[in-house]
A and B are shown apart, each in its own frame.
Chain A
Amino acid sequence: MMRDLWPWLALIFRRPGRLVVGGLLILATLLAGMGLLALSGWFITATALTGLLLAAGIQASLNLYVPGGGIRFFAVARTVARYAERVYNHDTVLRLLTDIRVALFQRLCLTARHRRNLLRGPQWLSRLTNDVDALDTLYLRLIAPTALAALVTAMLVLAAWLVYSQHLAIGLAMTLIPAFLVATVLVYLRTRHLVYRQTDARERVRTDVIEHIEGFAELTAAGRTGKHAALCLRQADQIARNDSRADTRTGWNLGLAQVMVNLSVVLALWMGLQLFQQGQISGPVAVLLPVALLGLLEVYSMLPDAFARLGGTLASAARLNRDCSVGQPLEPTARQQPIEDANALELQQITIRFGVHTPVISRFDLKVHTGEWVGIIGSSGAGKSSLADVMAGLEQPASGSVRSHQAPAYLTQQTVLFEDTLKANLQLGKPGVTDAELWRVLELVAMADRFTHEPAQLNTWLGSMGSQLSGGEARRIALARVLLSESPILILDEPFTGVDANTRDTVAAGMKRWLAGKTVIALGHAPEAFPAPDRTIRLN
């Protein structure tokens, strides 16, 4: 399971400098906190002893400036380090968030399309977001606190060895190492089976609840809403039960880890007092270590929660790895075969089928001459869009071959616009296109007026946060984007969806002029769905 995390850890560790600086800032915060308490404890003990001597009339003195200054320093350092650590590490988290998203996007680009098609829809997208979020905070939540807890523990054990005694150091190691394991590895081991499948279980409940809602009328009629709801409730309660058990176990482990740290305090006090009474160390120094160890509670208390979530994080990583498994490259191999010079596109014996079902299209032949306009008409479900996907090279046919001189420009049936400016959306069709040309193509699709009135003109923002386009308007922008393409072949799947009849005629006439000399294959449910072709084929 841990292996699933490696690619993402590698990504996170690509910024070692930032991680180390961020870690050191956290370390400074922790040490300042421990230092403040430990030095204060030392100071109070020292003053108490000196005060007793003075009260007994014995000449005694204590340098107040160094510890007093130290206490003030630690108090300020704690505040400053905490603030700096917060700001710096959140910056790091936001950078990691960018890195992970960009890397994931690049991997998705290489993922086979049919695999991606299985993963469409808002549910997958929201799961993807949650899974990425789980990885974003891996460093700040888990890696840094764990590394620092280990480091601070080691520092304290070493200090015990150097300043106190070997026995004390061994004693501390024997209590603190189990405490560390209880707060980290043990939490993970005891919760992973509870949390690993939680996201999947949640998705299953969601499916059932959606079914419950969609079938609400039928269930109500049959008097079964209560029973079916009870089924959903039981499942949800099972998830809540697993959550609850994981939380409880985490709580017990936290409690146990704190007991062990506290026992190390008691141990340090016991052995420290012995050393003091044997005259090996002074009283204040005997107090120093136990009080510093109390500060370790803060460090350890961060760990169990993070490790309780590790199981879920691993599941997220596994899902992301699975969804983004790099598949076959998209480049169609059939294009290298010879094609007659006069033809722009040749389809030979094309068969398209889904799974083991009857083929939607079988043994389909088509030769399109260069400069020819072909219209393909078929009712919904006749396989038009699948045929268009095959012609454009997006999908491989079950059998047969597709040959063309150049990859065609393709207007998919689905209108896809990006949350970006109008210009950026159009530039996808022809990078580096001039503004004048953009206005010309907008004029052609009868959309120029719409945007000359927008204050930002070509820089108008499209999408949910910007200018709202109707279905027909969005369609025409997508069409304009394909018209800009320099490819000599265009495949247009239902180019005029949602566009009213008058506009359609204007745009169709304009397209004839704009695309003169190019090869166009248009697909639609009826002849008026595309500009008048030279030849019409009906799919049955």
Chain B
Amino acid sequence: MADQATARQWLGGLAAHGRPLILATVSAGVVVGVATVAQMAFLAGIVHRGIVGQVPVEQLSLLFTGAVAAIFIRGVAQGFQARFAARCSRKVRSEVRHQLNRCWRATGPVAMGQVSAGILAREWVDHTDALHGYFARFLPQMILAVIVPLLILAVVFSLDWLAGIFLLLSAPLIPLFMALVGMGAEKLNQQHFQTIGRLSGQFLDKVRGLTTLQLFGQTGPAADTLRKRSDDYRRVTMKTLRIAFLSSAVLEFFSSVAIAVVAIYIGFGLLGYISYGPSDDLTLFSGLLVLLLAPEFFQPLRLLSQHYHDRAAAMGAGAEIVERLHGNNGAKRPRPGTHQRQSPDGIVVRDLTLAYDAGRPVLDRVSLDIRKGDVIALTGPSGGGKSSLLYLLAGFMRPDQGTISVLGAAPGEHCFGWLGQSPFLVHGTWADNLRLTTPDATDVAIETALHQVGLRGLVNSRAQGIYSGITEDGQGLSGGQARRLSLARVFVANYDLILLDEPTAGLDSDSEIFILEALHKLALAGKTLIFATHHQALLTLANRTLLVTGGRVHDA
């Protein structure tokens, strides 16, 4: 239940963020309630004067005008309520997405890489949208479900306190209703989603294996199984639903019975059959008004129970988002300012220590000076700390101790080129992909960069050159081509420092040659290149090879 509590707390914080709009929504809802009371009062007044007072209809036009005015105010307030609610939800969702983006930046690329992109994207897209109903419907309704019934109760009390007591008797029952409705709705919700989930699972499982089923000629029996399983689930679910629906039946029962009791009490009171209490003062006006207000007394509660599943959905989604937002506090986040101002001409590392497990440092008090224009190969056994050193230089992680100064600034403060092992393409044209990191690159610069990495031929073979999509014909790029495309970004951007993690690992020989040539060109252009590698050809490209092993870094 700890996550439930933190999720609730976080939702509360978001509510504070959207407070003005929530207040506006609730205010509009209160106006709807007041206008409803006014409308009913006018209607009851018209009936009283028209029937008991025998006043000609034409002389009641003032009351009729009042009723129509109340009706219009009610409608307009309802429209505004929807408008404010929708805005509030939009605002809150935008805030959540900003929070997630901030969290991602604070987490850094290394820790982000531990979680599947699909899961992170689902939190960002779907879980955030799942908060909609909570902020647009449930939360305002929860407040309205207290205010509006109290308002109506006050009016009813002023008309006839005994009728008020009938309604009030159900007031202590309201928390009970809420609990009943809540429990019922929650159970219903869980059961429903579980069933839907299982059915979808069965269905998707069969769809996924459709080719296999066809190969064995078993699609017919599979459809029968699907039907039979669905039916079994339905039977089991209905058993639970029959009980879960009882709670909403209880709410219905109380509200119907309350209306019936009030109606009969008023009727007998008007006949003068009741000799105690305030019933002597009942008139057709007050009696009818109490009757017309009785359903409105229960209406906010009924709406709340309809929106209850919004709460469950938001709690579920919220719990996962909160876990993401809070879970990364312990991660080694990049933090600016872990450097001392050093010479702007090189990379200065002093007493750098990093440990993933306490007591077994990957890097142990490492000091290092790299001159501008150096081509450095980091080598050593896997797990020896090559990549960690690279991540620290990139500012993707924060060291436990020590300082790093990269060209006179903290790591990551100046832009630099990064080439990781997983290729990064966006859905779009070649130009889109290169302009991603350098938005103002010219067409010529892009073509030159593609030429440098040996992709010019491929691009020229496409109909629209650099403006053709990179994934046309449903065929993507090979791993090697994708990595060359990433390298082309580095060429376009013209960075001083370029960090590369195993730039040739797992490549076909063509791509390998192109990458080597391209790196050579970068080195000749005076760029500072640092790469982690085992590859012999790359080691020869370097003018300095550093062996990273056992927490130490020394020249090989």
Complex Cα gap A520–B107 (Å):
53
A residues less than 8 Å from B20 (CB atoms): none
User: Does A501 reach chain B (CB closer than 8 Å)?
Assistant: no
A residues less than 8 Å from B283 (CB atoms): 48
Contact with B along A65-106 (1 / 0, CB 8 A): 001100110111011001100110011001101100110111
Given contacts A37-B295, A221-B499, A277-B57, contact A108 B252 (CB under 8 A): no
Q: Is the CB of A273 within 8 A of B207?
A: no
Q: Is the CB of A291 within 8 A of B292?
A: yes
* Dominant SS among interface residues on chain A: helix
Q: Is the CB of B76 within 8 A of A129?
A: no
User: Does B51 reach chain A (CB closer than 8 Å)?
Assistant: yes
Q: Is the CB of B57 within 8 A of A51?
A: no
Interface size class of A (residues with CB under 8 A): 35 or more
Q: Is the CB of B94 within 8 A of A37?
A: no
Query: Which of B57, B200, B221 meets A431, CB within 8 Å?
Result: B221
User: Does A366 reach chain B (CB closer than 8 Å)?
Assistant: no
User: Does A458 reach chain B (CB closer than 8 Å)?
Assistant: no
Q: Is the CB of A248 within 8 A of B203?
A: no
Tally of contacts, chain A with chain B, CB under 8 A: 393
Given contacts A105-B206, A207-B427, A429-B216, contact A218 B486 (CB under 8 A): yes
Contact with B along A452-491 (1 / 0, CB 8 A): 0000000000010000000000000000010001000000
Q: Is the CB of A105 within 8 A of B437?
A: no
Complex Cα gap A113–B212 (Å):
11
Query: A172: shortest Cβ distance to chain B, in Å?
Result: 16
Complex Cα gap A122–B116 (Å):
13
User: Does B263 reach chain A (CB closer than 8 Å)?
Assistant: yes
Q: Is the CB of B196 within 8 A of A44?
A: no
Within 8 A of B (CB), among A359-405: 392, 394
A residues less than 8 Å from B226 (CB atoms): 98, 101-102, 105
Complex Cα gap A101–B195 (Å):
14
Specify the chain B residue showing the minimal Cβ separation from A111. Answer: B210
Query: Which of B94, B209, B284 meets A418, CB within 8 Å?
Result: B209
Specify the chain A residue showing the minimal Cβ separation from B230. Answer: A98
User: Does B470 reach chain A (CB closer than 8 Å)?
Assistant: no
A residues less than 8 Å from B62 (CB atoms): none
Query: Which of A40, A236, A256, A273 meets B46, CB within 8 Å?
Result: A273
Complex Cα gap A287–B263 (Å):
14
Query: B429: shortest Cβ distance to chain A, in Å?
Result: 14
User: Does A533 reach chain B (CB closer than 8 Å)?
Assistant: no
Q: Is the CB of B473 within 8 A of A357?
A: yes
A residues less than 8 Å from B267 (CB atoms): 43-44, 46-47, 64, 67-68
A residues less than 8 Å from B169 (CB atoms): none
B residues less than 8 Å from A527 (CB atoms): none
User: Does B253 reach chain A (CB closer than 8 Å)?
Assistant: yes
User: Does B354 reach chain A (CB closer than 8 Å)?
Assistant: no
Query: A33: shortest Cβ distance to chain B, in Å?
Result: 8
Complex Cα gap A247–B121 (Å):
25
Specify the chain A residue showing the minimal Cβ separation from B94. Answer: A237
Complex Cα gap A68–B260 (Å):
9
Q: Is the CB of B284 within 8 A of A211?
A: no
Q: Is the CB of B85 within 8 A of A247?
A: yes
User: Does A351 reach chain B (CB closer than 8 Å)?
Assistant: no
Complex Cα gap A274–B52 (Å):
14
Within 8 A of A (CB), among B239-263: 241-242, 245-246, 248-249, 252-253, 256-257, 259-260, 262-263
A residues less than 8 Å from B249 (CB atoms): 79, 82-83, 86
Complex Cα gap A211–B120 (Å):
11
Complex Cα gap A54–B280 (Å):
13
Q: Is the CB of B212 within 8 A of A213?
A: no
* Dominant SS among interface residues on chain B: helix
Query: B396: shortest Cβ distance to chain A, in Å?
Result: 7
User: Does B14 reach chain A (CB closer than 8 Å)?
Assistant: no
Q: Is the CB of A216 within 8 A of B272?
A: no
Complex Cα gap A356–B122 (Å):
35
Query: Which of B245, B416, B422 meets A83, CB within 8 Å?
Result: B245
User: Does A318 reach chain B (CB closer than 8 Å)?
Assistant: no
User: Does B75 reach chain A (CB closer than 8 Å)?
Assistant: yes
B residues less than 8 Å from A522 (CB atoms): none
Query: Which of B57, B94, B256, B263 meets A76, CB within 8 Å?
Result: B256
Query: Which of A52, A91, A220, A245 meets B108, CB within 8 Å?
Result: A220
User: Does A330 reach chain B (CB closer than 8 Å)?
Assistant: yes
B residues less than 8 Å from A290 (CB atoms): 43
A residues less than 8 Å from B209 (CB atoms): 416-418
A residues less than 8 Å from B204 (CB atoms): 125, 128-129
Given contacts A40-B263, A45-B47, A98-B227, contact A241 B205 (CB under 8 A): no
Complex Cα gap A122–B253 (Å):
45
Specify the chain B residue showing the minimal Cβ separation from A302. Answer: B306
B residues less than 8 Å from A83 (CB atoms): 245-246, 248-249, 252
Within 8 A of B (CB), among A199-252: 202, 205-211, 213-229, 232-233, 236-237, 240-241, 243-245, 247-248, 250-252
A residues less than 8 Å from B109 (CB atoms): 216-217, 220
B residues less than 8 Å from A109 (CB atoms): 210, 213-214, 219, 223
Given contacts A109-B219, A209-B121, A254-B82, contact A269 B46 (CB under 8 A): yes
Complex Cα gap A111–B99 (Å):
43
User: Does B117 reach chain A (CB closer than 8 Å)?
Assistant: yes
Contact with A along B83-117 (1 / 0, CB 8 A): 10111011001100110010011001110110001
Q: Is the CB of A277 within 8 A of B78?
A: no
Q: Is the CB of B284 within 8 A of A44?
A: yes
Q: Is the CB of B415 within 8 A of A223?
A: yes
Q: Is the CB of A125 within 8 A of B208?
A: yes
Query: Which of A41, A82, A222 meets B437, CB within 8 Å?
Result: A222
User: Does B533 reach chain A (CB closer than 8 Å)?
Assistant: no
Stretch at the interface among A153-161, A163-171, A259-267, A336-344: A259-267
A residues less than 8 Å from B54 (CB atoms): 277
Q: Is the CB of A256 within 8 A of B118?
A: no
Given contacts A290-B43, A429-B216, contact A254 B263 (CB under 8 A): no
Specify the chain A residue showing the minimal Cβ separation from B250. Answer: A79
Q: Is the CB of B252 within 8 A of A87?
A: no
User: Does A270 reach chain B (CB closer than 8 Å)?
Assistant: yes
Complex Cα gap A274–B241 (Å):
50
Complex Cα gap A418–B124 (Å):
31
Q: Is the CB of B202 within 8 A of A419?
A: yes
Q: Is the CB of B216 within 8 A of A244?
A: no
Within 8 A of A (CB), among B168-219: 195-196, 199-216, 218-219
Q: Is the CB of B47 within 8 A of A255?
A: no
Query: B411: shortest Cβ distance to chain A, in Å?
Result: 10
Given contacts A247-B82, A255-B78, contact A287 B288 (CB under 8 A): yes
Q: Is the CB of A418 within 8 A of B205?
A: yes
Given contacts A36-B256, A228-B436, contact A266 B291 (CB under 8 A): no
Q: Is the CB of B415 within 8 A of A428?
A: no
> 4 closest Cβ contacts across the A-B interface?
A251-B82, A221-B418, A40-B263, A98-B230
Given A54-B271, A75-B257, 12 additional A-B pairs, CB 8 A? A33-B256, A37-B291, A74-B260, A108-B207, A211-B427, A213-B104, A221-B418, A244-B90, A265-B43, A269-B46, A277-B57, A412-B212
A residues near B (Cβ < 8 Å) are 33, 36-37, 40-41, 43-52, 54-55, 62, 64, 67-68, 71-72, 74-76, 78-79, 82-83, 86-87, 90-91, 94-95, 97-98, 101-102, 104-106, 108-109, 113, 116, 118, 122-123, 125, 128-129, 132-133, 202, 205-211, 213-229, 232-233, 236-237, 240-241, 243-245, 247-248, 250-252, 254-256, 258-259, 262-263, 265-266, 269-270, 273-274, 276-277, 283, 286-287, 290-291, 294, 330, 354-357, 392, 394, 409-410, 412, 416-420, 424, 428-429, 431, 463, 481, 485
29 contacts between A and B (CB under 8 A): A44-B284, A44-B287, A45-B51, A45-B284, A64-B268, A79-B249, A82-B252, A95-B234, A101-B230, A125-B208, A128-B207, A129-B200, A133-B196, A202-B125, A211-B425, A213-B112, A214-B424, A220-B412, A223-B415, A245-B86, A247-B86, A247-B136, A248-B83, A254-B82, A266-B64, A266-B67, A330-B214, A354-B473, A481-B216
